[in-house]
Amino acid sequence: MSTFAPPRLRLESLAVWRRNALVWRRLMTASLLMHFGEPFLYLLGIGYGLGRFVGELDGMSYFTFLASGFIAWSAMNVASMESMWSVYTRMVPQQTYEAILATPAEVDDIVFGELLWCGTKSLLSGTAILAVAAILGAVSDWTALLAIPVIFLTGVSFAAPGLIVTAYARGYEYFYFYMTLIMTPMFIMCGVFYPVSSLPGPIQSVVQLLPLTHAVEIIRPIVVGQPITDLGLHLAALGVFGLVTTWIATVLFRRRLIQ
Amino acid sequence: MRWIPSQISRNGVTAIFQTESTLTSGAIDQTHASPVVHCRDIRKEFDSITAVAGLSFDIQPRTCFGLLGPNGAGKTTTLRMLLGQSPRSGGVLEVFGHDINHGQRAIRQRTGIVPQADNLDPDFTVRENLSIYGSYFRLDPTVMDERIPRLLDMVELAPRADDRISTLSGGMKRRLTLARALINDPQLLVLDEPTTGLDPQAKHMIWSLIHQMKRAGKTVLLTTHYMEEAERLCDELIVIDEGSLLAQGSPPELIEKYCESDVLEIRGEVEQVQIDSLPEAWRTEQAGDSLYLYANDAQGLGQFSQNLTDMVCLHRRSGLEDVFLRLTGRALRG
């Protein structure tokens, strides 16, 4: 099989996913506390605290605006962390992948298993924030649950570039470059805290190209119960971004793991 | 039969595998059976470095084949090529009759691997390590339910089944890794330096388990740099260095071919030994503060040692270690 061949999705990837899920189950209490506790504090502190000064934004309270943006951001953040720190831990110090590659499972199964797992973690975290937002009164309708598959897609799409960074990483410090140079700018600029339309024109056109913008543009209206503009475009942007980065990540992992 | 620690064979591993392994059913004439591993002139180059420079050998079914060489000789690279974990740069390489490039998954389905470095999953218990690993083979849960307790009994880890990996000793981890390699009931078992770093008891236990595997009809491929291990376990072996074949044969054949029958090892002020006065047929080698005299003359060596009153002398039969040192030199390796 050529190194550059398209990734192949097979059932063995579910075994890799299941391994991670079983590890997570053991640490579930701490993980759930973090998933619920952190957004709860952030939303209360920033949403209510800052929201009093901001008032309404795009036809919703600032609390609701922020909560819906946080869901998208958290999907990106959780998937990125998992695909960098945790995947690196499994790849290098634990040599988990070397053990897996001694079985009929292959590099593609590892990549897909990890992507699915990162998506699952995003889903857990995003859903937790959605629940917190609902408890605090930011969600008006059950249709907000339609955000869940989008959260999953967002997680998978952001896990793939994380895997690309990991495929090159020689240590954990590599991930700070990606966090500081890529993730933090998106967190600040892609419409989590304020509408993209309030940015200067040239910057807006750059921000429109960033994947987190598209995730926010889909998730926010679903959560708030507003009509989504350009749903197809945003989904396609996220999907294509995810597919291309998945292909690249698979090629890089083949090169890293099979030498 | 060599010494085997007590208790190990009490569960009769032979019985486990005779019922499950297809290769063990029926008598196989070794000389006519097709080899489990067949390689001709395999090569591996990393950028400008040649790690393996054209190796050829066959591994016959139901034998233990040793791959010996000093550190950095190319042993692990060869194993990785055999397992499809490292693409070869050239040559013919077939395992179970499949070309390694096309049949990797089929080959790994029938192979068990004990890697050199511990890569047990630290997030899981002893038992979970086996079941998770089995899931990568997509083994049926009912098969695993029946196989896992027997494997744990076999490696004497049943009482530790629910303990975390971090609580195990080095020997226990290695035994668990061996049990893990058997979860798919492999026909070929690959062991990369299985006893490195183990204490004598743990080492003997691993050896005894490998003997059981052989009796159960498995083909074993072993790398080691312990010559005692190779002498005990291997039916045939090759010695490689710098990626090339130096010698091939059974341990007695190699000793016969490359070494005199006896050796006198002298330690102490070896400069005082009159090397010039020794018979011409004797061969000498010096390493550190030891002098080795090799000869097919046990009596002569014995008499010679009696004159060396203020030195420590050890007169013994030549072994594989002497062959190995002769072939690969005495220089230290990185």
In a domain, A29, yes or no: yes
- Confidence at A66, pLDDT banded by 50, 70, 90: very high
In a domain, A3, yes or no: no
User: Which CATH entry fits the domain spanning B260-318: 3.50.50.60, 3.30.70.250, 3.40.640.10, 3.40.1260.10?
Assistant: 3.30.70.250
Nearest CB to A102; choose among B86, B108, B128: B108
Domain coordinates in residue numbering, chain B: 8-255, 260-318
β-strand partners of B57: B39
Residue B29 has a pLDDT of 46
pLDDT (average), residues A58-73 = 92
Q: How far is B113 from chain A (nearest CA, A)?
A: 7
Total domains present in chain A: 1
Q: pLDDT tens-digit profile of B140-185?
A: 999 999 999 999 999 999 999 999 999 999 999 999 999 999 999 9
Strand-by-strand arrangement of the B98-99 sheet: B49-59, B37-46, B90-95, B98-99
In a domain, A5, yes or no: no
Nearest CB to A102; choose among B113, B120, B128: B113
Q: Which residues of A105-141 are buried (b: 16+ CB within 10 A; e: fewer)?
A: bbbbbbbbbbbbbbbbbbbbbbbbbbebbbebebbee
In a domain, A7, yes or no: no
Q: pLDDT tens-digit profile of B15-24?
A: 444 434 444 4
Answering whether pTM is above 0.90, one says no
Rounded CA separation A143/A226 (Å)? 10
Domain limits for position A55? 12-257
Residue B325 has a pLDDT of 82
ipTM confidence: 0.92
A30 touches chain B (CB under 8 A): no
Q: How far is A102 from chain B (nearest CA, A)?
A: 7
In a domain, A90, yes or no: yes
Asked if B218 and B189 touch (Cβ cutoff 8 Å), the reply is yes
Provide the CB-side half-sphere exposure for B4 (13 A, CA).
12
| Poorest-pLDDT segment among A120-129, A236-245, B15-24, B157-166 | B15-24
B27 has a pLDDT exceeding 70 = no
A102 touches chain B (CB under 8 A): yes
Chain A CB contacts of B117 under 8 Å are 95
Q: What CATH architecture does domain B8-255 belong to?
A: 3-Layer(aba) Sandwich (3.40)
**How many A×B Cβ pairs under 8 Å?**
65
Best mean pLDDT range from A57-71, A148-162, B198-212:
A148-162
pLDDT (average), residues A27-43 = 86
Chain A CB contacts of B132 under 8 Å are 15, 18-19, 22
In a domain, A2, yes or no: no
- Per DSSP, B57 falls in state E
Chain A CB contacts of B108 under 8 Å are 102-104
Residue A128 has a pLDDT of 93
